Amino acid sequence: MPVNGSDELKRTNEIGMAIPVLEPIDLAGKTVTADALLTQRKLATYLVERDAHYLFIAKDNQPTLSADIRLHFAARGAPDCREPPTLQHGRIESRAIWTSTALNDYLDFPHVGQVFAIERHTIEKKTGQTSTEIVYGVTDHTPLSASPARLLAFNRDHWRIEAHHYILDWNWDEDRGTVRTGHGPENITGLRRFAVGLIKAKSNDSVAGTIAKLARKVRRVFDYLGMTMNSTPRPRRLAAEG
């Protein structure tokens, strides 16, 4: 839900720019994933007409679609696929998926091949705190073109990319960047991605926390990168032998 006019404009622009951004890309045979904001009939139709596939999350911007899928999976039983737990960023995470073709002819959405429910269960390793999130979605993939395990993998890869983009936008407000000419946008994004990768490799702190510590003090940046005498280990002095 937008909290001010600028957020509303940002969301509107994201919807309007989706198809123009995809236009020059060879989409044949590819699966395009999107969060709830881009779960739109026009985009789904466009992708299928370009011989691509879609996998969309259904939330409150498509209330009827979301409610129908949620109701269908109210009594889920055993999942169709459950991934083994993985440890990432201090969290133990496991995912499970339920799929169905029962709503294919019922839903008012183009080219439905399956609907799905994905449960994400996480445990914070340090505190033991647990959380469970369930999301619902729709895809044009039929069971023949995408198994439950493959759908789950599409969703997992989507959120890995989304999480990285969130880091860039949160720390540098990248979505509203004003660098637009020549190779500027590509270069500045490359530098930011390099910085994120470097921070993750060197620090146990968050990206935002590390940036805050280094901000406005160039000397700290050089120390952090190991480019000053203070940041390099000094050789031990050898005791003189008689």
State residue 191's pLDDT score: 60
State residue 202's pLDDT score: 59
User: Cα separation of 169 and 165, whole Å?
Assistant: 6
List the one residue out of 46, 36, 32 whose CA is nearest residue 11.
36
State residue 186's pLDDT score: 60
State residue 174's pLDDT score: 52
* φ, ψ dihedrals at 4, nearest 5°: -160, 175
Fill in the DSSP letter of residue 228: S
Domain regions of the chain by residue span:
5-175, 178-231
Q: What is the DSSP string of 171-189?
A: HH-GGG----STTHHHHHH
* φ, ψ dihedrals at 58, nearest 5°: -110, 120
State residue 98's pLDDT score: 97
State residue 194's pLDDT score: 59
User: Cα separation of 87 and 122, whole Å?
Assistant: 10
User: What is the four-CA torsion angle of 109, 159, 129, 84, rounded to 10 degrees?
Assistant: 90
Q: Which amino acid is at 132?
A: T
State residue 127's pLDDT score: 86
Q: For the chain (length 242 residues), average pLDDT per consecutive 10?
A: 33 64 88 86 94 93 94 94 83 92 96 96 87 94 96 77 46 55 62 58 61 64 62 53 46
